[in-house]
Amino acid sequence: QHDVAALLKPISEKIQEIQTFRERNRGSSMFNHLSAVSESIPALGWIAVSPKPGPYVKEMNDAATFYTNRVLKDYKHSDLRHVDWVKSYLNIWNELQAYIKEHHTTGLTWSKTGPVASTASVLSAFSPGPGPGPPPLFDNEGRKEESSPSRSALFAQLNQGEAITKGLRHVTDDQMTHKNPSLRAQGGQTRSPTKSLTPSPTSPKSHPPQKHVPVFELEGKKWRVEYQEDRNDLMVADTQLKQVAYIFKCNKSTLQMKGKINSITIDNCKKFGLVFDNVVGIVEVINSKDIQIQVMGRVPTISINKTEGCHIYLSEDALDCEIVSAKSSEMNILIPQDGDYREFPVPEQFKTIWDGSKLITEPAEIMA
C-alpha cells in the first residue's frame, strides 16, 4: 500500500498543479477550458479504482462535458479551433475508457512476469527531458489547471482501497433515473439537465410543459439535486472530499450539506436556500434568482453569475472567502458581528476613468 501511494504521488502533484492554476486564472477568457480539464483530470486516478475504473473515467468525462458545452456555445459560430479542441480533449477520455474496457475492466492488473514498478522509475518519467512540443492550441493553460487541493485528498481516498466506500450512502438501482427507464418515462427526465422538453411547434393546442421527476441521488462522485419543489427537508448527512454537488432547477426549497465536499453548483434555481459546512473548491451560482447561502465552516471562493438576488451569510472562519460576481444584481454579504449579522451590498455599478496611462475602475457611489 505504501509503494502504491508513492507511485501515485507524481500524478497527484500534477493534478493539484492543474487545479491550482485554474483557480488562479478565474478571470481568464479560457476559464471554461481550464475548468473542463480541471474537473476531469482526476480520471488519471483510474489506476487506483476498482472494480469499475471505466465508469469512473466516464464520470470525469461527464464533468468535463459540463464546461466544454459552454465552450461550444461561445465559439461554435466564431472560432472552430475551440470546437476542434473540445473534440480532441474529450476523445482522450473516450480512448482511455476503451483501453480500460479492453485490458483492465475490473481494475488495474499487474504483470506477474514484468519489471517491478519502482518510485525511481516513476520519478524519472516525470522529470523534464526532451520530447515533442505541446499541441498548438491552449496546451499551456490546459496542462496546469485545477479547482482546489481536494484532488490530493482524492488520491489519499483512492489509496485506501476498498475503505474508500465507507461513509458513502448506498443508492439502489431503482432510485437512479439513469438505471431505471420507468422513472425517465414517468417525467420525461433526460440525461442532461440542460435540455428541457418543449411542445411541438406543429401541435394544434398549447400544452403545459411536462413535469420532471425530482432527483436526489449520489451518482458516482456527484450529488444530483434536481427539480425539487417546496422541499425544506433536503439533507446530505455525510459528504466526501471527492464529491461534488450539482443543484438544478430547484424552487422554493432548502438543502443542507454536512461534512466537507469538493464543490457545489447552483444552476437555474429560484427561491433556494443552501446551508453547508465546508467546501474545499468553489460554490457557483448560475442563472438563478433569490438565492440564500449560509456558510457554517469554510469556503475559499463563491462565484455569482447571471443571478438576481443572492444573500451570502459567512461564518467567522469564512471571512477570507473571495466573492466573484458578473452580470448579477441584488447581492449582499452578511458578516457576523456581535452575535448578529451586518449586511454589506456588493457593488453593481462601476466607474472607469483614464489616468493618462491606464484605465482605473472602482465601484460607483450610488446616491439615494
pLDDT by residue (tens digit) across 116-155? 776 555 555 554 444 333 333 333 333 333 333 444 444 4
pLDDT value of position 173: 55
Counting the structural domains of the chain, the total is 2
Residue with cell 474529450: 90
What is the share, in percent, of the chain residues with pLDDT greater than 90? 46
Asked if residue 136 is part of any domain, the answer here is no
pLDDT value of position 190: 38
Task: Say yes or no: 323 and 358 in one domain.
Answer: yes
Whether 86 and 28 have beta carbons less than 8 Å apart is answered as no
pLDDT value of position 148: 39
pLDDT tens column, 296-326: 999 999 999 999 999 999 999 999 999 999 8
What integer is the mean pLDDT of 276-283?
94
Residue 339 has pLDDT above 50, yes or no: yes
Asked if residue 226 is part of any domain, the answer here is yes
Task: Say yes or no: 157 and 247 in one domain.
Answer: no
Question: Which residues span the domain enclosing 278?
Answer: 173-191+211-363
Asked if residue 206 is part of any domain, the answer here is no
pLDDT confidence tier of residue 165, bands split at 50, 70 and 90:
very low
Task: Say yes or no: 30 and 179 in one domain.
Answer: no
pLDDT value of position 299: 94
pLDDT value of position 122: 54
List the CATH number of the domain containing 286. Answer: 2.160.20.70
What integer is the mean pLDDT of 353-363?
90
pLDDT value of position 69: 92
Asked if residue 202 is part of any domain, the answer here is no
Of 53-67, 94-108, 159-173, 320-334, the poorest mean pLDDT is in 159-173
**Which residue type occupies 274?**
L
Ranked by mean pLDDT, the top range of 119-123, 205-209, 213-217 is: 213-217
pLDDT confidence tier of residue 16, bands split at 50, 70 and 90:
confident
pLDDT value of position 4: 76
Task: Say yes or no: 187 and 319 in one domain.
Answer: yes
Residue 205 has pLDDT above 90, yes or no: no
Question: Which residues make Cβ contacts (< 8 Å) with residue 237, sequence separation at least 6?
Answer: 169, 258, 259
Task: Say yes or no: 155 and 177 in one domain.
Answer: no
Task: Say yes or no: 303 and 185 in one domain.
Answer: yes
List the CATH number of the domain containing 46. Answer: 1.25.40.330
Asked if residue 129 is part of any domain, the answer here is no
Task: Say yes or no: 240 and 356 in one domain.
Answer: yes
pLDDT value of position 285: 95
Task: Say yes or no: 215 and 277 in one domain.
Answer: yes
Asked if residue 196 is part of any domain, the answer here is no
Task: Say yes or no: 41 and 154 in one domain.
Answer: yes
Instruction: Give CA–CA dist 37/24, Å, rounded.
Output: 14
Asked if residue 139 is part of any domain, the answer here is no
Asked if residue 91 is part of any domain, the answer here is yes
pLDDT value of position 366: 53
Ranked by mean pLDDT, the top range of 12-21, 288-297, 344-353 is: 288-297
Task: Say yes or no: 149 and 187 in one domain.
Answer: no
Task: Say yes or no: 183 and 317 in one domain.
Answer: yes
Task: Say yes or no: 242 and 101 in one domain.
Answer: no
